[in-house]
Structure formats: structure tokens, C-alpha cells
Amino acid sequence: MSSCSPGLKTTSTCCAARTPPELMDWVGGVETDERVRARHERYLALVPDGTGAQFRITIPGHPEGVGIVGYWRHEWRGEPALESGWSVEAEYRGQGIAPDAVHLMLEAARAAGETLSVHAYPSVDNPASNAVCRKAGFTLLGEEDFEAAGRVLRTNDWVYELAEPPRA
């Protein structure tokens, strides 16, 4: 665990913040206000719809959160699966917060009864997010083209099997 001991809080209203442009380069480009609102509405609907969950990443002294992490229903090669994603504010990166938050998110998904495979698709050129996957216990399946925001991105396909016993 990181020295910051992250926790998770279920989101209700705080996820609509505009993601910093330097992070959006990895997932299809800068969002318009309309796309931010649409993403926020999708996040809010995840739990009531039973299709996933989105969490604020909190650390001591920052209950408002320093990032987000979540999972949602997804189709992988024609089969049901979950997709995961996260974002940590710039000043809190590099402290082990993201891998720890992803671990907590995986535990929350398992506790909610999820058993589907959880995938993450960081860009092949994003070493930080690929390291988060590795540190969180995901297995690299290989490279894959992935559509995001109307663009095809070259990504690594990482998977975590929720149906297997938790990893130490």
C-alpha cells in the first residue's frame, strides 16, 4: 500500500470535473463541456443500473478526493466483461495511490458480487498506467486497437480475473 493509504467513496456528484488535457491525450483527446456532462451522467447511472461503480479516491487530509477509479460493463471479444479506468490528480501521482485504489476497486467489485474479467486498456505509450496495471495484479494479454472518443488507440489489454481468489 502507498504511504497515503487511499480509500474509496462512492460517487454521487463529484466526477464531472474536466480531466486535465495531458491525461486526455491517452484516451482520445480533450473533452467538451457536453462530453464531460455526458460522462458524469454515465457515472451516476452505473450503480442504479447495476452496470458498475465509480469511486472518488480519498487520502488522509483530502476527503474531497484526489482522483477517480471505477468499473463498468463492457464486451470483450463478444463476451461480457468489465472495463476499468482511473485518474489521479497530477500532484498525487507517483506515490502508489493509483495501484492501491485499483486494488480497492477490485475488492469492491468482488464484494458487489462481480465475477467477470476486468480489463484495462492503457495506451502502449503510457508507461504510468501500464505500471498501475502491473502493480495492481493485472495480466498483460497483449496489444489491441481500442476505440475511444471516436479515435482508434493502440493499447495494451490487461485483465484481472475477479472469479479467482484475491491476489496477495
* pTM (global) more than 0.75: yes
What whole-number distance in Å separates Cα of residue 1 and Cα of residue 82? 24
Q: Tell me the pLDDT tens digit for each residue of 92-138.
A: 999 999 999 999 999 999 999 999 999 999 999 999 999 999 999 99
Q: Tell me the pLDDT tens digit for each residue of 59-83.
A: 999 888 899 899 999 888 999 999 9
| 121, three cell numbers | 486498456
What whole-number distance in Å separates Cα of residue 150 and Cα of residue 55? 25
Give Cα 40 distance to the centre of its chain. 14
